[in-house]
Amino acid sequence: MLRFKIKEMIAKKEFAEGRRITIGEVAKAAGIHRMTLSKMINQRGYNTGTENLDRLCAFFDCEIEDLVEYVPATEQPSDSE
């Protein structure tokens, strides 16, 4: 499963810029619908297109590995936990 590290990237940008950054601000600046961004952040296993990943990498000025992490199935917590 792929895990999006968007929350971590927002926190890093907030620290660097010394201000609060909202999901709405990220969505608007990156050209991604806010609901799509919210699903990427909150829905485990959410499937998104490469265009959204490209836009987020441009917004955060980062590499794809800074934004996405592969989590092997054996390390994934079960839904009952």
- For residues 26 and 43, give the distance between their C-alpha atoms in angstroms, rounded to a whole number: 18
What does the pLDDT look like over 38-70, one tens digit per residue? 999 999 889 999 999 999 999 999 999 999 999
Q: 75 in a domain, yes or no? A: no
38: containing domain = 2-69
- CB of 33 closer than 8 Å to CB of 27: yes
- Asked if residue 77 belongs to a domain, the reply is no
Domain of residue 28, CATH code: 1.10.260.40
Question: What is the tens place of the pLDDT at every residue in 13-30?
Answer: 999 999 999 999 999 999
| Start-to-end CA span in the chain (Å) | 17
Neighbouring CB atoms inside 10 A of 76's CB total 13
Q: How confident is the model at residue 76 (pLDDT cuts 50, 70, 90)?
A: low
Decide: helix, strand or coil at residue 65: helix
Tokens of 45: 């296993």
At 1, which amino acid appears?
M
Query: Is residue 76 assigned to a domain?
Result: no
The answer to whether residue 79 scores a pLDDT higher than 60 is no
Q: Where residue 7 falls among pLDDT bands split at 50, 70, 90?
A: very high
Q: Name the pTM for this structure.
A: 0.83
